[in-house]
Structure 1
Amino acid sequence: MSTEGNFKDLVDVLQKSVAAFGDHNLFGTKRDGVWQWITYREFGRRVDDLRGGLKTLGVGPGDTVAIISGNRVEWAVAAYATYGLGARFCPMYEHQLDEDRKYIVEDSGAKVIFTSTYPIYETTREWVGTVGQVEHVFCMALPEEDEASFAHLESVGRRQPAPVAEIDPESICGFIYTSGTTGKPKGVLLSHRNIVSNLNGVARFFPIDTRDVSVSFLPWAHSFGQTCELHMLLSRGAAIAIAESIDKLIDNFAEVKPTIILAVPRIFNRIYDGLQKKIAEEGGIKKRLFDAAMANAEVRKKLAEQGKTSALVELKHKFYDALVFSKIRARFGGRLRYAISGGAALSPEVADFIDKLGIFVCEGYGLTETSPIVSSNRIGARKIGSVGQPIDGVEVIIDTSVVDDEDSQDGEIVVRGPNVMVGYHNLPEATREVIREDGGFRTGDLGRMDEDGFLYITGRIKEQYKLENGKYVVPGPLEEQLQLSGFISQAFIDGANRPYNVALIVPDRAAVERWAKENGIAGDYPAILQHDKTRALFEREIAEHSKGFKGYERIKGFDLLPEEFSVDNGLLTPKMSVKRKAVVERYRDRLAALHAAAASPQTVAAVTPGGGR
């Protein structure tokens, strides 16, 4: 039985999926070393129970239920129970600043809060009657006999069931707060219609069914994880194994044998970097075999682009696949069909690498405000380096009027369709700034479309700046390319109204310390970073990864930072975006010194391929 492409609202999604896939596994959780699964039907019963429990608390249409939790079965139960009462669901991250959580709870008007851990519960229960409209706080870690436990509320609802409310597709199903790189988070209001338009819009070209399984590690508090994994896979009868942790991801892949993984580019970059390091360390015949396999895969790809095949190339491919690529795929369980990337731009180099391993890389584009999917590559219509063509029902417009650069063909990406948000909660002026009179949403992203309708992302308008010579620079692409180096964890480029660009580089500490030991460099970590040989290493790495960029886009100086950008130090948002203004403020003196040195007549040329500083 199929459910594809005909949903009215998220309650409809659950009801149709339970009816169609009742006895199939839905969620898997590892407990005591064993994966334990619940079926669609069992999940539906838990949703019914919690819906009844929430109803006894007075939750109804227009009320807000919040959750502070990582991915787990209870997260999904809480979401769908909330939808079934016509209420609004508001997720937050476990690793989020307390002041941001408190702001979100107040702004959203949360009446009930679910928490995953006791420490979070201890803090949050103090908000009852003191913060916003909070009336009840429950904890998933408490035993059922405790009235403040999630399980107890389910048991209450089991005894006092509540019917499913009539759902208006235009009604708000939830908030997702965008953790902006400046200012307070904005609550994006999404309707049932917004999200199901995404599910319906990709139904035609994503063949996912009951044979598929994912290992879930992308937070459902993020729109990409919530729509593209939780709602999408649930709507198709697929199974979702909830990863134990990022550290145990490879073990979980081997155990679950997923057919689909969804991740942000940072995860794919780690996979790429890890494989490259392992191959380089093994050296010898293994490296020569790998290089030969990749070279043959490149020839095979070029022939395919021309609509050609070669019997010899195909024979070699079978040989190399059995000897090399299949062994790499086995590390991910051996059944992986799709690697779906979103949330930021994926390097074409990384996408091409994974694709050659025999794993179909599908890069898409979207934003929280577009529910989130705007466009996607798909089987039969893909260009590596692009984010694909718009999904069904969505229109993309490139507004070139916002780019004051005669050398550029880029413009702001504007999105029109049923996926565009209702607006920002309690922020009518901010909503008017981004939603045009024709309903188009101004994304703030720069991009272009080719003659085949494939969309390419080239940067962010807010991150774009002009050098002293009038040239426009978008730092993101070079930052992402530098981070492909095995020695660079994070990169931040600065150059607004300056003669040249400079960079703050956060090294990969483990890689640098290993390299230092191999090269006889002693001392603590800060001392290693100050060593001339370390400096020379990073000059080479920056030069190598700057190939293909124009001279004015490259950097003319850099500094190595011993401390990484993180959520805890206020330099990253919970979804791991760099807070650019915060970085500039924190490292104002270092950046000023770098710019002064770069502008000095004594400073040699920029870091370029084959050159030094």
Structure 2
Amino acid sequence: MKRLLGGVTVPYGGCHVIHFAYRLGTSVAGTFYSESDAAPGVSMNNEIRLGIVIKPQSTLVDLWAQAIKAWPTRRFLGAKAWVRGQLGYIWSTYESIEQEASSMRTLLKQMGIEKGGRVVVVSENRYEWVVVHIATLQLGAQLVVLPTNITPKEAKQVLKSTQARVLFVESISAYGAVKGWVGEVGQLEHIICFEDQVGEASYAVAINLAADVPEKPPARKDITSEDTAMIMFTAGTTGPPRGVMLSHKNLVANISSIYAHLGEALTHTDMFMSLCSWCVAGALTAELYQAICKGACICIPPEQVEGFQDLPLVQPSVIVTVAQPFQRAYANIVDNIMNRGALTKDLTRFTLGRITENRLMMQKPGSILRTASDILLGKFKAQFGSELRMAVIIGSQLTRDQMELFADLDIFTVSTYGCLEVGGLIATDLDVPLRLKALPGIEIRVVNDKNEIITPGSVGEILVEAPHAMQGYFDVHIDPEEAKNSLVAYGGRTFVRTGDYGSMTGGWLTIKGNKDVLITLQNGAVVDPVEVESTLVKSPFIRQIFVYGQDRPYLSALVVPNAKAIAVHLRKVERRDGVPIVSEREKADCIRAELRRVSQGLPARSHVRRFAFIEECTLANGFITCKYGFARQKVESHYIHYFNAMYDETPKFFGHAVDDYDDLF
């Protein structure tokens, strides 16, 4: 049984309407619908509304208040759950989330959270995350958002520095690791666990107790656009996470820029699927608040990357995601095509070529081509669902051939470029694929080492001036001189250093890489490892690859092989436990051949010469960030003995050589 705040009714099993009085489990305050059902009794209005009004002086609290007033009964958040043997989504309306947020305000108020106070949250996307987010802002407090790959040592340092009284964590295991911190770390007094249902830290128990309080504190009226709304921490790609202070004005300005750019492509009938963590500012402003501004709904799968498999089940129309699921889907599609019979393979490649030609010439495909597409490509289209029309990619971008393949499958991918210090997204390629253009209200400059603007097409550091640029760094992990140098003044205007290199030509931005990530070889050649990795991982036999080579004569790599794909390719049998029987030598030979094949389009300096196998990098072991990129500094320090051994120039070097067969393990 489930308690639904505000007396919301539940159609249970499609037959009876039941009023619940108590909530257990992980249900969302709202209504249950199976995937195939429309939300009954919800007035969506026949006309398509343009959305709420965003004013320069608006706060995030104002945007939410407008949404509650405009469409209280629309579906907002959905979480996957089993109900009486049916797999479906527990849906909350905008109104029911506001009612639960009012209970959360009561709870936080009793915990001593006032205006200017700080609440820390470490969690993947959940409906509880949204409730805490809204309630904290309505009290005028600051939400401190930490990436989920943060280490306990780093989390302790943040709690001490922020002097936060309340900490929200997602899992019971995470709670077990931090429950001893109360009274010991900074001013921490309370820890609440989202997944705990009946224990001492249970979110469900706490929110139900708060719901029974008759008088709940209203949202404050004295919140201004200049007040700090959130302290968000970087993903930790090149070092320890750094805190960035963002005001209501910063975040609303970025929401407004995206709204002006993408708004016409979105309607209140859209269903978003959340596949990128909201601890990434670009995902927060491009997904959560775009849905709020349009009155759309968001489906939150239990696991972000694994949730990609739920696309046919959910049938979303828009997804905001990291690149990794699409990169893996591309590799699987290519592997499937290459393993087809000779005739079928040729027909598939011919069909893709004709579809690409028609798309570029803006011609409608004929009936024969459509039939061939359904027969040969229908299997691939089905894995994305029939409603998906747009995917907004956050973080690492797809390559041209990847984007073109998905376009041939009727999926429009939008590349984005963003930076936490600038409050979210900076540019997208919505107008022209793979050509980034600044969002409205943003000015981009490319400068040399002396901060002088360089000629169009030349490579330099990217500076950004925007109304949503950060208030400043929080004082964790930040050298004062580094914080001072992060801003560049031009007269009365201030630009923020992004730390990325790129070029500008005719208003179009090209990204070359992050200056803290770029590899400089012994001969002075500069290599972008992210670009090399995104090219090599297109191989269906490579699950993950990490490239290294700073001050070395050539590149080496750590490889996580796709053992099952290799086994299928080699026609190997599997053991009873499903693990394919593939020897180390066979895996090495297969990866060696693949590295040669997929590296053909790369310059010689970007070729990997030696590689070694490692276990998969995950969020759990801390080697993957919340944007599903590598935590490069952590990976390098952990596997430094591997790298040193791979560069041993004797015949007994560690790992495998790409260019010869003199491997000695």
- Normalising by structure 1, we get a TM-score of 0.87
Change (3 A) 1:584 1:144: closer
1:296 correspondence with 2:350: no
Structure 2 residue aligned with 1:195, among 242, 248, 251? Answer: 251
1:440 correspondence with 2:490: no
**Higher mean C-alpha displacement, 484-493 vs 353-362:** 484-493
Q: Amino acid of the residue matched to residue 217 of structure 2? A: A
Matched with 1:31 is 81
Cα deviation for residue 93 of structure 1 reads: 4.9
Cα deviation for residue 461 of structure 1 reads: 1.1
Matched with 1:91 is 145
Q: Amino acid of the residue matched to residue 562 of structure 1? A: I
1:15 correspondence with 2:65: yes
Change (3 A) 1:495 1:144: closer
Distance in 2 (CA, whole Å) between partners of 1:566 and 1:256 is 25
Matched with 1:256 is 314
1:362-408, CA deviations, whole angstroms, 9 ceiling, x for partnerless residues? 11110222221000122xx122x33x2111111111124479999x8
1:146-194, CA deviations, whole angstroms, 9 ceiling, x for partnerless residues? 6854543454255231121121111111111113245432111111111
Change (3 A) 1:563 1:395: same
Q: Amino acid of the residue matched to residue 249 of structure 1? A: G
Change (3 A) 1:589 1:525: farther
Matched with 2:13 is none
Distance in 2 (CA, whole Å) between partners of 1:246 and 1:9 is 29
1:239 correspondence with 2:294: no
Distance in 1 (CA, whole Å) between partners of 2:192 and 2:296 is 29
Aligned pairs for 1:260-409 within 5 A = 260-283=318-341, 286-304=344-362, 309=363, 314-325=366-377, 327-378=379-430, 381-383=431-433, 385-386=434-435, 388-401=436-449, 409=458
% identical aligned pairs: 26
Q: Classify the secondary structure of the residue corresponding to 1:439.
A: strand
Is the Cα–Cα contact under 8 Å of residues 215 and 261 in structure 1 kept in the other structure?
yes
Change (3 A) 1:580 1:44: closer
Cα deviation for residue 322 of structure 1 reads: 4.1
Aligned pairs for 1:56-135 within 5 A = 56-93=110-147, 96-135=150-189
Distance in 2 (CA, whole Å) between partners of 1:148 and 1:525 is 39
Change (3 A) 1:237 1:520: closer
Q: Amino acid of the residue matched to residue 79 of structure 1? A: H
Query: Whose helix fraction is larger, Structure 1's or Structure 2's?
Result: 1
Structure 2 residues not aligned, in runs of 5+: 1-48
1:186 correspondence with 2:242: yes
Cα deviation for residue 38 of structure 1 reads: 1.2
Matched with 2:206 is 152
**Higher mean C-alpha displacement, 563-572 vs 155-164:** 563-572
Cα deviation for residue 214 of structure 1 reads: 1.7
1:183-240, CA deviations, whole angstroms, 9 ceiling, x for partnerless residues? 4321111111111111110222322121100222322222233222222212211111
Matched with 2:594 is 541
Cα deviation for residue 534 of structure 1 reads: 3.6
Q: Classify the secondary structure of the residue corresponding to 1:497.
A: coil
Q: Classify the secondary structure of the residue corresponding to 1:216.
A: strand
1:208 correspondence with 2:279: no
Cα deviation for residue 243 of structure 1 reads: 0.7
Change (3 A) 1:231 1:360: same
Aligned pairs for 1:598-613 within 5 A = none
Q: Classify the secondary structure of the residue corresponding to 2:524.
A: coil
Is the Cα–Cα contact under 8 Å of residues 416 and 439 in structure 1 kept in the other structure?
yes
Matched with 1:496 is 550
Matched pairs, number: 592
1:297-318, CA deviations, whole angstroms, 9 ceiling, x for partnerless residues? 22124424xxxx4x7x555553
Cα deviation for residue 268 of structure 1 reads: 1.1
Distance in 1 (CA, whole Å) between partners of 2:613 and 2:306 is 28
Aligned pairs for 1:475-486 within 5 A = 475-486=529-540
Once superposed, what is the RMSD of the aligned Cα atoms? Answer: 3.4
Q: Amino acid of the residue matched to residue 470 of structure 2? A: M
Is the Cα–Cα contact under 8 Å of residues 447 and 455 in structure 1 kept in the other structure?
yes
Change (3 A) 1:145 1:294: closer
Q: Classify the secondary structure of the residue corresponding to 2:261.
A: coil
Distance in 1 (CA, whole Å) between partners of 2:109 and 2:574 is 67
Distance in 2 (CA, whole Å) between partners of 1:423 and 1:18 is 32
Q: Classify the secondary structure of the residue corresponding to 1:36.
A: strand
Is the Cα–Cα contact under 8 Å of residues 70 and 220 in structure 1 kept in the other structure?
yes
